[in-house]
Amino acid sequence: MMNISAVAFLLAEIICILQKMQNDLCEMINDVWFMDKITATVKKITTHTLRQMKAAGEKISMLTAYDYTMARLLDEAGVDVLLVGDSAANVMAGYETTLPITLDQMIYHAASVVRGVKRSLVIVDLPFGSYQEDARQALHSAVRIMKETGAHGIKLEGGEPVIEAVRRIVTSGIPVMGHLGLTPQSIYQFGTYAVRAAEEQEANRLLRDAHLLEEAGCFALVLEKIPAQLARKVTEELSIPVIGIGAGRYVDGQVLVVHDMLGMNESFKPRFLRQYARLQSIIQEAVRHYVADVKAEQFPDESEQY
């Protein structure tokens, strides 16, 4: 039989264990509460937020995203707007233009992005052929995107010819972002990726189209590859946010293709692009190192196996 001192020692040990379990449980509860509180205080970006930012003179940051992992990283880094661009046709699928990507493929990419986002506003491009026929087709495509992805709005290219489609979509409660200037879906009509609206006639038409898009209900407008002073004039005349890509510094915000901004294709260096990283060389060097380790039987080592 155990003596009294042994029993007392055992009871003391049990009490210590129970106290530690209680402390650990309290810590877990506090951590969960704290994370819930943090999540609850994350201020989601909305179309209203963007209007407030323009009014306050705060610039809007926007990048493309096409998958869950990248969307999560960009969202956590504080990007205001994530654009699921039809540029996925170029950077994800390797097509020469944006034209081949389908509505189903855009929905797949958009749904992946939305799952990675807690704060950013997610806007999805209507791909070529999904809205040009008429306003009814445009609405059908927009509704599919909203219902099947959980995105917060859509973007489409063009001015006066798409005004009826914009009105139809906006009237149905779906936020629409416009896109003027260089519109990649019309590249075969343009025949070049040169700066648009450099001449007075085209510049006047672009300015008129910008006003028409605002009047039709667009919550924001993208201007691509146009003279900076024209972009400035559009930005000053419109009450909605204007976001530029290759449109100078006087707009309300900037957008870039994330693969370009991260330097994942070092051969693509247009004038408007600033590369904030050189991931092409970093990735290739890492892969070369991995291949060498595998060939030399240095990976995995003893600590990397079960």
76, 164, 200, 224: which one is catalytic?
224
Backbone angles phi, psi at 155, to 5 degrees: -130, 140
Backbone angles phi, psi at 196, to 5 degrees: -95, 160
Element (H, E) at 147: helix 135-149
Which of 49, 45, 51 is closest to 217 using CA atoms? Answer: 51
Element (H, E) at 305: none
Backbone angles phi, psi at 67, to 5 degrees: -145, 165
**Catalytic residue status for 199:** no
Reduced to 3 states, what is the DSSP secondary structure of residue 243? strand
Reduced to 3 states, what is the DSSP secondary structure of residue 116? coil
Residue 154 is given by DSSP the state E
Cis peptide before 300 (omega within 30 of 0): yes
So which residues are the catalytic ones? Answer: 224
